[in-house]
Amino acid sequence: MTPQATPAIGNESFENLKQSNDHHAEFWSARDLQPLLGYSQWRRFEDAIKRAITSCEQSGNIQQNHFASAGKMVELGSGSAREVDDYQLSRFACYLIAQNGDPRKPEISQAQKYFAIQARKQELSEQLAADQERLELRKQTSEEFKALSGAARQAGVQDKMFGVFHDAGYKGLYGGLGGDAIKTKKNIPAKEQLLDRMNATELAANQFRMTQTRDKLARENTNNQQQAIRTHEQVGKEVRAAIERIGGTLPEKIPPAEHIKEVEKRIKNTVPKMELDEKDAGGLLGETKNKSSE
């Protein structure tokens, strides 16, 4: 792949960010890599790093050879500097982070293509990749649900009306169907959480509905319970209309997906295979690792 095809942001590219440590091994700073992969928040990027560390261990490789905790000095607006958490990453670690990143980010998609060379390609089945995407979306939607609840409270929605508020969003997105009605239509047991039975497409639509409602409530400085409820339903209708315009499947017509707990179980029991050649296995230990094995 040519340098022009490597993941890049502004004038920076993945290969340009490469550094060398005391072992003469190449490494990348996670803080430098973060914007390249489309993450604005360190917390979310560190979540991807932690998933990558788990993948590294499951693939039979030594975590410490590829992920090293470090500190990085950053300049503050006042002209002073402070140290923040960072990681030194091997090329293999960068590959795993791309594989475990948010698949909706175009930067992640580009990075995955960049790293998809046979010598470093992890033998993940299509099913496992789909499972990981859905599980990540489920986690993000759960966080967004909590954030929206907080925004609703600030907008004047009383605790006893939270059910009505959240149902309004469903009704807008699902053509008038509230949460219980959606379960009935899809034959989902009443005791199960609706989000646990949504596939990746349906989860993404609902996450977008929640995000846009939260932003709209804040932008319009809503401080009225009924107005907040109407806003949530209207945003749901707008998302539904967008799905219709692009010819997508309306959410109430999407069959219920396998329960998310089964997905979690399958991911946990799947051990991906990845054998690295001697140079890559050494990772951050570089030449020292290679010499010690001679």
Q: What is the pLDDT of residue 112?
A: 80
Surface-to-core class of residue 14, CB atoms within 10 Å of its CB (0-12 exposed, 13-18 middle, 19+ buried): buried
Judge if 193 and 215 occupy the same domain. Answer: yes
Is the confidence at residue 10, as pLDDT, over 60? no
Same domain for 262 and 201: yes
| Model pLDDT, residue 126 | 67
One domain for residues 255 and 134: yes
Predicted pLDDT at 160: 95
Based on the number of CB atoms within 10 Å of its own CB, is 241 exposed (0-12), middle (13-18) or buried (19 or more)?
exposed
User: Other CB atoms closer than 10 Å to residue 111's CB: what's the count?
Assistant: 24
244 pLDDT tier (thresholds 50, 70, 90): very high
20 CB-contact burial (10 Å; exposed 0-12 / middle 13-18 / buried 19+): exposed
pLDDT at residue 94 above 70? yes
Q: What is the mean pLDDT of the chain?
A: 85
- pLDDT given for residue 81 in this prediction: 66
User: Amino acid identity, residue 190?
Assistant: A
* 112 and 180 co-located in one domain: no
- Range scoring the smallest mean pLDDT among 104-108, 171-175, 194-198, 251-255: 104-108
Say whether both 17 and 71 belong to one domain: yes
The 10 Å Cβ neighbour count of residue 159 is 9
218 in the same domain as 112: no
Q: Is 89 helix (H, G, I), strand (E, B) or coil?
A: strand
| pLDDT beyond 90 at 274 | no
So what's the pLDDT on residue 141? 94
Alpha carbon separation from 255 to 140, 195, 200, 208, 262 (Å, rounded) = 21, 13, 12, 20, 17
Radius of gyration from C-alpha coordinates of the chain: 22
Note whether 143 and 250 are same-domain residues: yes
Long-range residue pairs from 210-218, CB within 8 A, at least 24 positions apart, any chain = 210/141, 210/144, 210/145, 210/147, 210/148, 210/169, 211/144, 212/238, 212/239, 213/148, 213/151, 213/169, 214/144, 214/147, 214/148, 214/151, 217/151, 217/152, 217/154, 217/155, 218/151, 218/154
In angstroms, the CA 167 to CA 121 distance is: 44
Strand pairing category for 19-20 and 8-9: unpaired
Let me know the angle formed at the C-alpha of 184 by 181 and 185, rounded to the nearest 5 degrees.
Answer: 85
Q: How confident is the model at residue 292 (pLDDT cuts 50, 70, 90)?
A: very low
% of the chain beyond a pLDDT of 90:
59
Residue 58: per-residue pLDDT: 84
Q: Are residues 113 and 135 in the same domain?
A: no
Q: Confirm if 18 and 280 have CB atoms less than 8 A apart.
A: no
Residue 80: per-residue pLDDT: 59
Q: Which domain holds residue 62?
A: 3-124+272-292
| Residue 82 pLDDT | 73
134 or 292, greater pLDDT: 134
- Confidence grade of residue 266 (pLDDT, cut at 50, 70, 90): confident
Mark whether 186 and 117 lie in a shared domain. Answer: no
Let me know whether 135 and 178 are in one domain: yes
Q: Which residue's structure tokens are 């009704």?
A: 171
pLDDT reading at 261 higher than 80: yes
Q: Are residues 19 and 115 in the same domain?
A: yes
In angstroms, the CA 67 to CA 32 distance is 15
Number of domains in the chain: 2
Instruction: Identify whether residues 99 and 61 lie together within a single domain.
Output: yes
Higher pLDDT, 152 or 55: 152
Q: Give the pLDDT mean for 119-141.
A: 74
